[in-house]
Amino acid sequence: MNAPDSEAGKGLKVLETGPDAAGQRLDQWLSAALGADFSRNRVQALIKLGAVQIGGKPVTEAKRKMAAGENVSVDMPEPEPAEPRGENIPLDILYEDAELIVINKPAGLVVHPGAGNWTGTLVNALIHHCGDSLSGIGGVRRPGIVHRLDKQTSGVMVAAKTDLAHRALSEAFADHGASGDLERAYSALVWGIPPRMTGTVDAPLGRAADRVRRAVVPEARDDARHAITHFTVREKFGEGRPDTAQASLVECRLETGRTHQIRVHTAHIGHPVIGDPDYGQAFRTKANRLPEPLKTLVKSFPRQALHAGLLAFRHPATHILMKFEAPLPGDMQELVRGFRNP
């Protein structure tokens, strides 16, 4: 393996493969060539982003076999911080003690640092608020985090402040409350009115074609993960009116906790979450046929209308059953009022 032979510009690193590269996977070779700061996972992410070129052409297959004498250029990202730093970001704290903290997360707040969001996250806020008590709890990138909500989903979250709390809460979330008292309920404003007031969606989830989204997949697929969502219709809007004005406020309770589970499952049964940019695209034109001012309200709603309204768990130290609720945030309340009185 040869050292970088030039720096073709800011952030661009150019390398040439030596005889030892022949037959190696691109991600394997490139991770070794770039050094300890670039793990194989990080290199794979760069490849997927199109940041790696061989012979002047982008390569997006991490498993591509290398040959000697190839020119490989990498559009290097800005250096990542070694670990998150505390930032004075306001927190809506519902409860706090020496073991844990419960917050009402606003929509728009990313839970932990990652690609494109190395600052301004809930983790940065927790480090500032909790100080050294979070050090080492749950890993460098995700100190204290035992579960997550999507960036644009609001609602109740708990974070651990000690190893004891982190272990106990992580176990509770890992088995989704099957062996304990974990309870989670979400409010979702969805398009249309389900035919039944209560129901269950039992459909395995796996990666979609773009590898970021999730989709209902055959159970036999290698990446299929068991997923069950129970729903109850709490309020119906627009019964007897044109279909475009119909919507429902639905409570969803999770028996499993897969990525995007509620959003995928509601879309799967034909009632996607209003405002969902990933799973509700087929329903976007419905807003065009709504009466004003509801039409403008729906079209300008900046996120999926999903809120984690209830979280209950047994305290890891006292073993007392604790229950926390957060009302619908203002933007969802306004949307509900709009459908009540279109």
Query: 150 catalytic, yes or no?
Result: yes
Residues in the chain: 342
Question: Could you tell me the pLDDT band of residue 212, with boundaries at 50, 70 and 90?
Answer: confident
- Give the CATH architecture of domain 176-342: 2-Layer Sandwich (3.30)
Residue 35, both tokens: 């050094």
Question: Could you tell me the pLDDT band of residue 141, with boundaries at 50, 70 and 90?
Answer: low
Give CATH superfamily name and number for 80-174.
Answer: Pseudouridine synthase (3.30.2350.10)
Count of CB atoms situated within 10 Å of the CB of 77: 14
Listed ranges 34-48, 168-182, 231-245, 319-333; the one with the highest mean pLDDT: 319-333
Helices of type H across 100-191: 122-130, 163-174
Residue 69, both tokens: 């004498």
Q: 215-231: per-residue pLDDT in tens?
A: 999 998 888 899 999 99
Q: Which 3 state secondary structure label does DSSP give 320?
A: coil
Tell me the CA end-to-end span of the chain in Å, nearest whole number.
Answer: 67
- Report strand pairing: 12-16 vs 71-75: antiparallel
Give CA torsion, residues 275, 280, 281, 286, to 10 deg: -70
Q: Who's near 59: CB < 8 A, 6+ residues apart? A: 26, 47, 52, 53
Domains 6-75 and 176-342 share a fold: no
* pLDDT (0 to 100) of residue 80: 54
* pLDDT (0 to 100) of residue 136: 63
* Residue boundaries of the structural domains of the chain: 6-75, 80-174, 176-342
Instruction: Pick the range with the lowest mean pLDDT from 20-24, 42-46, 315-319.
Output: 42-46
How big is the chain by its Cα radius of gyration, in Å?
23
* pLDDT (0 to 100) of residue 139: 65
* pLDDT (0 to 100) of residue 113: 80
Question: Which of residues 6 and 116 earns the better pLDDT score?
Answer: 116
- Mean predicted confidence (pLDDT) in 163-183: 82
**% helix, strand, coil for the chain, step of 5:** 25, 30, 50
User: Which of 5, 27, 75, 150 is an active site residue?
Assistant: 150
Whether residue 302 has a cis bond before it, omega within 30° of 0: no
Residue 26, both tokens: 């691109």
CA 171-173-176 angle, to 5 degrees, is 110
State the helix-helix crossing angle for 26-34 and 40-48, rounded to 10 degrees. 120
- Residue recorded with tokens 């997923």: 227
Domain 6-75 falls under CATH 3.10.290.10: yes
- The span from the CA of 330 to the CA of 128, in Å, is 27
Question: Does residue 68 carry a pLDDT above 60?
Answer: yes
